[in-house]
Amino acid sequence: MPSSRDVVFVDGVRTPFGRSGPKGQYAETRADDLVVRVIRELIRRNPNLPPERVDEVAIAATTQIGDQGLTIGRSAAVLAGLPKTVPGYALDRMCAGAMTAVTTVAGGIAFGAYDVAIAGGVEHMGRHPMGEGVDPNPRFLSEKLVDPSALIMGMTAENLHDRYPSISKERADAYAVLSQEKAAKAYADDKIQPDLVPTAVRTAERGWGLAVEDEAPRPGTTMEGLSGLKTPFRPHGNVTAGNSSGINDGATGCVVAAREVAGELGLTPRMRLVSYAFAGVDPEIMGVGPIPSTERALRLAGLDISDIGLFEINEAFAVQVLAFLEHFGIADDDPRVNPYGGAIAYGHPLASSGVRLMTQLARQFGERPDVRYGITTMCVGMGMGGTVIWENLA
């Protein structure tokens, strides 16, 4: 039996993220075609990787029906033209789907079952709204297993404001403005575009087009503009469309490999997986999930929060990021946190977002050889958090 092997992140790409709905750029584009685009781009960008050397394709989707069903990891691999000998599967951990796809194949690589794998996620929330077709067991509420607010993500964010009274709406709005500003600067500095896959789109009305950038960012967002937005989850509440991620469509993917196999194939590893952890919390305050998952991942790695030089935190809601920062004693505007901005600007197509975080961290590592460790972390619906710690190989 082989001893555990180092697992490395080689490359990551994503489609531009679209706004969900009839006017969004992917309104008439299939979810599986978004995944196909990502897989093909990973193979194109890494000519030293023979397609037959891919041992697994793991693709996450939260709503696994319609064009996100049919074991999308396998069906998208076939549609992308990978050899029929390459297997694939689908998995679901809601918002942390792609993150779980990466950690799951990483376990297989470390164990020796795989050498190279493609992992990612997709969510077409325009075609498949969160919760479509689900039938929650009545015992959840009748036996008070969860608070009724647990199933509505915006209400869980309001609950988090209750739990952290120091996090005001003003603080959340200020964080959101900062996220938009950082995303606009990252675009202006050409930090995001290198990992976007131009994606063909078609609508009956407009014909063919090309999606080349994210639709969601709102550069020029101001505190004044955010102050007047409605608080749909609670009268006089704190959570608005401006300090939350949007409802989005998009796909992500990455190549992960055993370190020695990457070397043998001539692939350049960009970061090494150090540790990962998932944790459960009360579903009605799911936004605190990254706190215990990060504490556990740090413990497994033998590291302290002070060892982390870069943080990629999924911005489902501003309050959830601020709760994490407050817990660890990190300033709201700490430059280590989401240097390129986050999901409040780019959007959060549920199951795909984890690999967006990794792709952005890998690019930041390349710019910052002085930083040794970075974290990708996110809260997860139904009361969970996920964290992966990475070592910079630049």
β-strand 7-14 against 207-211: which pairing, if any?
unpaired
CA dist., res. 328 & res. 322, Å (int):
10
Is 254 designated active site? no
DSSP for 193-224 reads GGGB--EEEEETTTEEEEE-S-S---TT--HH
Burial state string for 245-264 with b = 16 or more CB within 10 A and e = fewer than 16? bbbbbbbbbbbbbbbebbee
Task: Give CA–CA dist 161/155, Å, rounded.
Answer: 10
- Catalytic one among 95, 124, 161, 254? 95
As to burial, measured by CB atoms within 10 angstroms (0-12 exposed, 13-18 middle, 19+ buried), residue 189 is exposed
Can you read off the two tokens belonging to residue 388? 């992966």
Please compute, for residue 184, the number of CA atoms within 13 A of its CA located in the half-sphere on the CB side.
11
Nearest-angstrom CA–CA distance, 259 and 271:
10
Catalytic residue among 124, 128, 254, 379: 379
Question: E strands, the chain, where?
Answer: 7-14, 18-19, 56-60, 88-91, 116-124, 199-203, 207-211, 248-258, 271-280, 308-313, 373-380, 384-392
d(CA 61, CA 73): 10
Of the candidates 378, 149, 335, the residue with the CA atom closest to the CA atom of residue 245:
378
β-sheet bridge partners, residue 308: 373
Per the listing, tokens 């969004």 go with 24
Residues with Cβ within 8 Å of 223's Cβ and at least 6 positions away in sequence, in order, are 170, 173, 174, 177
Q: Which amino acid is at 303?
A: L
Residues serving a catalytic function are 95, 348, 379
